[in-house]
Every structure is written in C-alpha cells, then in structure tokens.
Amino acid sequence: MSQHNCSKDGPTSQPRLRTLPPAGDSQERSDSPEICHYEKSFHKHSATPNYTHCGLFGDPHLRTFTDRFQTCKVQGAWPLIDNNYLNVQVTNTPVLPGSAATATSKLTIIFKNFQECVDQKVYQAEMDELPAAFVDGSKNGGDKHGANSLKITEKVSGQHVEIQAKYIGTTIVVRQVGRYLTFAVRMPEEVVNAVEDWDSQGLYLCLRGCPLNQQIDFQAFHTNAEGTGARRLAAASPAPTAPETFPYETAVAKCKEKLPVEDLYYQACVFDLLTTGDVNFTLAAYYALEDVKMLHSNKDKLHLYERTRDLPGRAAAGLPLAPRPLLGALVPLLALLPVFC
C-alpha cells in the first residue's frame, strides 16, 4: 500500500482469479542476463557470499538469521522479512479456541519488482491450500528477460513448495505439516541487511527476533511452577487444554523417534506436543531441522542447545549450553505447560 500510495479508506478492487500460465510462458527462458544471477552479478570480484538461514515452525518457534532461537506468542499477522527485495508476512492463529498456543495458518511472500529480472510477484499459502504458483497463476518472474531467475517448484503436492529467487541468491521452503504451515529461507547477508531506513523499518522477526512482550519466558514459568501447586494452577488457568494431551514420557518418546539429538528442535517438539496434543507438530520440528540441514551454510550450527530470550540488562537467557542439563531443567516445567498454554 505504501509502494502504490494507496488510501486506507476504500474502495478496493476485487482480487484477480488464479489462471494457468499461457502457452510459451517466459519461464522457459534460460538466457537470463547476468544481473539476474546473484553470485555472478554481486560478487564477480569477491569471495562467495555468506548465506544465512531463518525458519519458523510449530507453536511458533523462530530461528533468526543470527541463529537466535525463540519461542513466541505472535498471534495475528507479523512480518518475518521486510527488506528492499521482498516481504514475508505470517498469520498465526490459536491452535484451540481461547488458547495461547498458536501456529502459522497463512503465509504471504511479496517479491518486489527488480530491474530487468522480475515483475512484482505474490505468493500466498493458507491452511489446506499450498499452491504451486503465484497468485496470478504464473510460476516464474513474469515477462521480463530474466524472469527465469524466479521460479516456484512443487516438491510434494499440497505439502512442500520451493521458491528459487536466483537474482537475490535466495531459496524459500514452504511446507504444510498437519493443518499448519512452516517457513524456511536461505538468504545472503547482503540481502538480509538491505534495508533503507533502519529507524522506521519496524518489525523484522527473522533479523531482530520477536518483541520482548511476545517471547515466552521459560524461567518465569519455572518459577511459577515452583511456587504454585499444579492443582491450583490448573484450577486458575482460563485456557482450555488440548483434547488429547500427551503424558510427558509419551511426548518424549514420540519426539525421540524423529529427533534423536536432544537439541532445541527436539525440545520444541516436546513443548508442542504438551501444549497442543497434536502429533503433527513432531513432523513440523523434524522438517524444520531437515530444512536447516539443506539451507544453513554453517554445518557446525545445525543443532542449537540454548534458547535465546532478550531480557532487560542482559543479552540472552543464561540457560546451560549442554543439552541434558537443559532438558533436565525443563522436565518439571514441561509437565505443567498445558496449564499455562
């Protein structure tokens, strides 16, 4: 709306219906100009660019471009990425009516018009609708000479879509796991930080992390659990519990099947099973880690063991780095999480 100087007070035009791309679509072109290939154009005389990764999955768990790992509330619409080349916005809705546990139900990606490479393209996915095309029905960047530098590929029908934006060196993976969506991206640092005005730029969850008031404070939960009996907490909790909650031991066993390393993806899996009762969240954590393996440039950072939470006066929550002590500290907490969420 800012780009086109739109009024916030109607009228608005009706959305265009999705149509199949015409015969001879320019996506077949293979002679894209050099400017439409990131590594060739931006880094002709320099080293290979440094690629970063961001992912969002589950209830919801965020891994930022700087490898911070947070669990957030972020109900409603939130911007994951907002830079000069593209915008990514997610909408998170309650897993159960009235519950604090949320998951991603809608994803919108806007690829901005770029030189002779691509026209502006919009991709939109929702629950039970993971299209293999942009909203205008095309599968590439439009009618420009370098349109083939933006392509969308369906890997598994209705479950897994991959978008390659070669002109900015970016790969995006969108999945539907169970009812909800997951998002993962590989992007060069130069593109990540391509923001004109940082002061007015606003939210950018993949880079800045979740706002402090949206982050779930595990230490506070643990303190409350120590000071209040489980029965009293259950009686006082206004949030409904999942229809079929898992005992802690069952949640651990199910997550261990897919995630044998006790890292944060494993712990996110346990957390989600206890807060939602939905076994599909096991696969959401599993595929999120699989996407990290595919997209992250630093193979030494595939597994993370320390949750990150920005607290006043210190950079992060001082949880132990070793996985077993961390899990042990969370055991009594996780047992009570359905009460809080």
Quick one: pLDDT at residue 5?
65
The identity of residue 255, as a single letter, is C
The identity of residue 290, as a single letter, is E
Helix, coil or strand: residue 19: coil
Quick one: pLDDT at residue 25?
42
Tell me the H-state helices in the chain.
38-42, 189-192, 198-201, 205-208, 218-227, 230-236, 248-258, 264-276, 280-295, 323-340
Mean pLDDT of 162-169: 95
Residue with more model confidence, 178 or 324: 178
Please tell me the distance from the alpha carbon of residue 55 to that of residue 258, in angstroms, as a whole number.
18
- What the block records as the tokens of 306 is 């320390």
Which of 57, 55, 92, 94 lies closest to 77, judged by CA? 92
Computed over every residue of the chain, the mean pLDDT equals 78
Q: Is the confidence at residue 54, as pLDDT, over 80?
A: yes
The identity of residue 26, as a single letter, is S
Residue 150 — very low, low, confident or very high, per pLDDT cuts 50/70/90? very high
Quick one: pLDDT at residue 44?
61
Residue with more model confidence, 40 or 235: 40
Quick one: pLDDT at residue 209?
92
Quick one: pLDDT at residue 99?
75
Mean pLDDT of 319-336: 40
Mean pLDDT of 38-48: 71
* Phi, psi for residue 118 in degrees, rounded to 5: -140, 150
Q: Is the confidence at residue 28, as pLDDT, over 50?
A: no
| % of the chain surpassing 70 pLDDT | 68
The model's pLDDT over 242-293, given as tens digits with 9 standing for 90+, comes to 456 678 899 999 999 999 999 999 999 998 998 888 999 999 999 999 999 9
Q: Angle at Cα 159 formed by Cα 157 and Cα 160, nearest 5°?
A: 90
Q: Is the confidence at residue 61, as pLDDT, over 70?
A: yes
Q: Is the confidence at residue 19, as pLDDT, over 50?
A: no
Q: Answer yes or no: are the C-beta atoms of 60 and 74 closer than 8 Å.
A: yes
Which residues of 99-149 form beta strands (DSSP E)? 102-111, 121-126
Quick one: pLDDT at residue 185?
98
- What the block records as the tokens of 261 is 């390393």
| % of the chain surpassing 90 pLDDT | 49
Quick one: pLDDT at residue 305?
82
pTM of the model: 0.77
Quick one: pLDDT at residue 236?
35
Residue with more model confidence, 314 or 50: 50
Quick one: pLDDT at residue 100?
77
Please tell me the distance from the alpha carbon of residue 293 to that of residue 142, in angstroms, as a whole number.
31
Q: Angle at Cα 305 formed by Cα 302 and Cα 306, nearest 5°?
A: 125
* Domain limits, the chain: 34-214
Q: Is the confidence at residue 22, as pLDDT, over 70?
A: no
Q: Does domain 34-214 have CATH number 3.40.640.10?
A: no
Residue 202 — very low, low, confident or very high, per pLDDT cuts 50/70/90? low
The model's pLDDT over 109-119, given as tens digits with 9 standing for 90+, comes to 999 999 889 99
The model's pLDDT over 88-129, given as tens digits with 9 standing for 90+, comes to 999 999 988 877 789 999 999 999 999 889 999 999 999 999
Quick one: pLDDT at residue 160?
97
Q: Answer yes or no: are the C-beta atoms of 272 and 59 closer than 8 Å.
A: yes
**The most confident of 11-25, 197-211, 245-259, by mean pLDDT:** 245-259
